[in-house]
């Protein structure tokens, strides 16, 4: 756990369950212990927040939900479908490497891949086959899906690695636990990349980090495709504004650079009233460059590691003094 600059004070530790959701008004409570539990602003996209919310409440935090970005499919699936066709149809034109910059990329890409394979393999509609998805990529189907076993996969972050295992029952060949894209690039460049074909799957506003270094090292092709869109949420919930401006939020999660930028745009100087918890060095860099350094940085690039960081800060009685 990395602690940033700022004044810190001691904080009592309580273990109980209490939650404020985005759609609910704050509920007055009579239990002083409950009302003193640390309050966390969870900023993940709504579709990803449920498990984190439950985990935080189980650990004895109150939770306020304010998604800062929405995750949507790309406006045009055409380029992704063409890449999937290459992967599944021809060894001669297929890619040698897949690189996933985040767990959303894993989810959207394999959802689309599964959709495209359904008719070809089973001649049945997608909605009937969806329950079979986890087994579709397991070893017993190795002959049908040899492209997934001959291709090397690199992922950024422990959360992305976990998503890959859950989705296709396979670990990545290369991954950075800290969520450092530069580390992934360095590891790949130490291997032979001459003539290799790379498919990089990311958000619509991801960084163009890999293309030129890989081409300079002799890669035969580097294709970067957005497999999902990250769109800023335009308005904050009034309850969030009130809690943040009055210094009631103890921790605010920052689980991507896109979320960091959206937080700064929406809340600005009010962020100085809360301890920002960053998921990775890249996200910390975005916060630092914006003038809002994180109070804490998770030891690994996953939501579980961020929660452990907040638990450790709470249990050591370290909170930002407002």
The domain locations on the chain are: 2-68+233-320, 74-230
* Least confident stretch, 80-84, 123-127, 171-175, 261-265: 123-127
Q: How would you classify the pairing of strands 251-254 and 39-42?
A: parallel
pTM exceeding the 0.85 threshold for the entire prediction: no
Three-class SS state of 156 = strand
DSSP state of 27: P
Q: Name the β-bridge partners of 152.
A: 97
Percent of the chain whose pLDDT exceeds 70: 77
Instruction: Give the H or E element holding residue 6.
Output: none
For 113-166, write each residue's pLDDT tens digit: 888 877 566 555 444 544 444 444 444 443 445 577 788 999 988 888 989 998
* Least confident stretch, 85-99, 161-175, 284-298, 305-319: 85-99
Q: Does 202 or 121 have the greater pLDDT score? A: 202
- CATH C-level class of 74-230: alpha beta
* Least confident stretch, 38-42, 133-137, 181-185, 227-231: 133-137
Q: Model confidence at 319, in pLDDT bands (50, 70, 90)?
A: low
Per-residue pLDDT at 125: 46
Burial class (CB in 10 A: 0-12, 13-18, 19+), 8: middle
CATH number of 2-68+233-320: 3.40.50.10090
In this prediction, residues 54-82 reach a mean pLDDT of 94
Per-residue pLDDT at 34: 53
Per-residue pLDDT at 316: 85
Average pLDDT value over all residues in the chain: 81
């Amino acid at each position: 756990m990395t602690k940033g600059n700022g004044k810190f004070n001691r904080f009592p530790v309580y273990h109980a369950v209490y939650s404020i959701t985005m759609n609910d008004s704050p509920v007055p409570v009579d239990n002083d212990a409950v009302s003193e539990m640390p309050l966390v602003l969870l900023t993940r996209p709504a579709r990803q927040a449920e498990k984190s919310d439950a985990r935080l409440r189980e650990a004895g935090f109150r939770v306020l939900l304010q998604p800062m970005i929405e995750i949507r499919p790309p406006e045009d699936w055409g380029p992704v479908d063409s890449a999937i066709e290459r992967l599944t149809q021809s060894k001669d034109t297929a890619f040698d490497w897949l690189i996933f910059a985040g767990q959303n990329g894993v989810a959207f890409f394999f959802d689309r891949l599964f959709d495209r394979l359904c008719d070809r393999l089973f001649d049945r509609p997608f909605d009937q086959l969806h329950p079979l998805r986890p087994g579709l990529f397991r070893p017993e189907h190795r002959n049908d899906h040899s492209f997934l076993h001959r291709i090397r996969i690199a992922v950024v972050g422990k959360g992305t690695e976990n998503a890959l295992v859950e989705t296709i029952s396979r670990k990545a060949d290369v991954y950075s636990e800290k969520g450092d894209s530069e580390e992934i690039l360095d590891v790949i460049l130490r291997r032979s990349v001459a003539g290799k074909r790379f498919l990089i799957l990311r958000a619509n506003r991801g960084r163009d980090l890999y293309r030129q270094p890989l081409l300079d090292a002799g890669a035969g092709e580097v294709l970067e495709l957005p497999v999902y869109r990250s769109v800023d949420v335009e308005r904050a919930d009034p309850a969030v504004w009130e809690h943040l401006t009055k210094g009631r939020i103890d921790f605010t999660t920052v689980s991507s650079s896109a979320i960091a930028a959206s937080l700064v745009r929406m809340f600005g100087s009010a962020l100085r009233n809360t301890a920002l918890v960053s998921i990775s060095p890249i996200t910390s860099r975005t916060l630092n460059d914006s003038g809002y350094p994180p109070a804490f940085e998770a030891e690994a690039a996953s939501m579980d590691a961020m929660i452990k960081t907040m638990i450790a800060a709470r249990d050591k009685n370290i909170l930002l003094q407002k």
